Amino acid sequence: MALGADAVVAAQAPPAADALYARRDDPVAARQAADLYLAHHRAAAQDFVGAWKLARASYFLGTQGPAGDRRMWLESGLAAANDAVALNATRAEGHFWLAANMGALAESYGLRQGLKYRSRIKQALERVLAIDPTFMEGSADRALGRWYHKVPGLFGGSAARAEQHLRKSLTYSPKSTVSLYFLGELYQDEGRPAEAQRYYQLVLEAPEHAEYGPEDRAYKALARERLRALSSRR
């Protein structure tokens, strides 16, 4: 029996989308990957992997894509992550990408509005830790470190707990540019410029990860900017 058009999309989209997503530092490839994941998710709504990969690609475009489209992609990513959690709540992927998209949305709305998301973000990340603390090389601890850093103390934030989680994430991936950068940012905000400079320098010295090259390059660029700004204040 011949496959219908939707079934063909469902069968063929993930490999092609994965190949495009691997080249996501090319804006055209990133958008094409997300569009393919979206088409796949619409055609195969019960595919857990397709759902979380759409959430992942949407997060990338929601944080690295054209500014005018970012919130739209984060909303798409949040919906896809919710679908992934509904399809399989025992896996970490849906919970993690739900927290990531929601966290970026919270930041886009600013502190006052963004705080409404704080409890659900934290719960999703704690769920990832309960399922698999090693997931994506300690990404849940990394994101919780960011949560404790950015949320005001009145609402549960804590510099000490932020540092604890970020250092824990480094036990899984000692040269993670994201964890190193987040620690530098924490120390800078805590009035510890020498330690901040040390960690920003470590970001620059870290080798590019085979899978996370685009993210590594983005955080290296941010670390260079921070180092220049700190040096200019001497």
The model's confidence at residue 114, banded by pLDDT at 50, 70 and 90, is: confident
pLDDT value, residue 5: 45
* Nearby residues of 137 by Cβ (< 8 Å), 6 or more positions away: 169, 172, 173, 176
The model's confidence at residue 13, banded by pLDDT at 50, 70 and 90, is: low
* Nearby residues of 144 by Cβ (< 8 Å), 6 or more positions away: 122, 125, 126, 129, 165
DSSP string, 1-20: -PPPHHHHHHHHHHHHHHHH
Q: Among 116, 132, 148, where does a domain finish?
A: 132
Is 138:173 a contact under the CB 8 Å cutoff? yes
Residues 123 and 155 in one domain: no
User: Which of 64, 89, 83, 88 lies closest to 74 in space, CA to CA?
Assistant: 64
Residues 98 and 50 in one domain: yes
Residues 108 and 4 in one domain: yes
DSSP string, 66-126: -GGGHHHHHHHHHHHHHHHHHH-TTSHHHHHHHHHHHHHHHHHH-HHHHGGGHHHHHHHHH
The model's confidence at residue 30, banded by pLDDT at 50, 70 and 90, is: very high
Indicate whether 11 pLDDT > 70: no
- Tell me the residue range of the domain where 223 lies: 134-234
Name which of 14-23, 69-78, 80-89 the model is least confident about: 14-23
Q: Give the domain CATH number at 178.
A: 1.25.40.10
Q: Among 111, 132, 153, where does a domain finish?
A: 132
Q: What is the pTM for the complete model shown?
A: 0.91
Report the phi/psi class of residue 3: left, alpha or beta, with left for phi > 0 and alpha for psi in -120 to 50.
beta
Task: Residue count of the chain, please give it.
Answer: 234
Residues 97 and 146 in one domain: no
Mean pLDDT of the chain, nearest integer: 92
The model's confidence at residue 234, banded by pLDDT at 50, 70 and 90, is: low
